[in-house]
Amino acid sequence: MTTWDLRLASRRDVAQGTVAFRFGKPDGMRFRAGQAIDLVLPAARGEPQARHAFSIASAPYEDHVEVATRMRDSAFKRALGALVPGDKVSGDGPFGSLGLPADPARDVLLVAGGIGVTPFLSILRQASRDGGPRRLCLVYSNRRREEAAYLDELEQLAETVPGFRLVSVMTREPLTRGAGPQGHVNATVLGAARAGLHRPLCLIAGPPAMVSSVRDGLVASGVAEDDVRDEVFFGY
């Protein structure tokens, strides 16, 4: 992997307890939508968690590298939260294969739990620029709307990107606006999301229990194991 110098440009809240950090994109840095990068923070060196892997939320065509995380009380998160614009960190990568299939006619089902939405946001931001015949459906599960990172942007993308459909699932409360089921991502939700998709590749990202449950549910419904890829988010 290549090591990059990343300088913080800005930060903003994207949900309750979740902050997005936007770094300038170094010359020559390339990545594919859905890939990740390791951030190494000097202030956290010597700690057991001096580095963390983050999916890149920004699209490859954009001039910045954006990551987002839930802010928890750990040495790494305290060091990350203390960054101010102009501060520099190291980035190793990119890496990961959680991306779109090579066949542009093949559709994609995206299933995200919480902050696991970040690689899919990169994919959808790029799709909003590139267009094409591919249909995408994102099933996005959160406890409450205020905890759902980037939900406003995703709802806007669902209105403006041809072929993209958003299903928001809230486990602790009904939606205050929009449409979608209340409860957990189950066989009924997944079946409805897959309806109308052509040979969909299924990509899953989120907490371990959610990823395992969704994967098992898709395979049990007849989806081939080779057509399911996942990425587990630990401790985010």
pLDDT at residue 180, rounded to an integer: 47
Instruction: Show Cβ contacts of residue 210 under 8 Å, excluding neighbours closer than 6 positions.
Output: 113, 116, 141, 185
Domains 3-95 and 108-232 share a fold: no
Ramachandran category for residue 163: left, alpha or beta (phi over 0 → left; psi -120 to 50 → alpha): left
Exposure string of 57-68, with b = 16+ CB inside 10 Å and e = fewer, is bbbbebeebbbb
pLDDT at residue 176, rounded to an integer: 44
Number of C-alpha atoms within 13 angstroms, CB side, residue 15?
A: 22
pLDDT at residue 181, rounded to an integer: 47
- Cα–Cα separations (whole angstroms), residue 71 to 25, 29, 58, 75, 215: 23, 27, 19, 11, 27
Q: Are the beta carbons of 89 and 41 closer than 8 angstroms?
A: yes
pLDDT at residue 45, rounded to an integer: 56
pLDDT, tens digit only, all 236 positions of the chain: 799 999 999 999 999 999 999 999 999 999 999 999 999 987 655 555 588 999 999 999 999 999 999 998 888 888 999 999 999 999 999 999 889 998 988 999 999 999 999 999 999 999 999 988 999 999 999 999 999 999 999 999 999 999 999 999 998 765 444 444 456 788 999 999 999 999 999 999 999 999 999 999 999 999 999 999 999 886 55
Q: Are the beta carbons of 208 and 234 closer than 8 angstroms?
A: yes
Q: Tell me the fold of 108-232.
A: Rossmann fold (3.40.50)
Q: Tell me the fold of 3-95.
A: Elongation Factor Tu (Ef-tu); domain 3 (2.40.30)
Where do the domains of the chain lie? Answer: 3-95, 108-232
Say if strands 228-232 and 201-206 run parallel, antiparallel, or are unpaired. Answer: parallel
What the block records as the tokens of 39 is 């951030």
The DSSP code for 96 is -
pLDDT at residue 72, rounded to an integer: 87
Question: E-strand spans in the chain?
Answer: 3-15, 18-24, 36-40, 51-55, 64-70, 88-95, 108-113, 136-142, 164-170, 201-206, 228-232
Exposure string of 133-145, with b = 16+ CB inside 10 Å and e = fewer, is ebbbbbbbbbeeb
pLDDT at residue 75, rounded to an integer: 83
The DSSP code for 149 is T
pLDDT at residue 43, rounded to an integer: 67
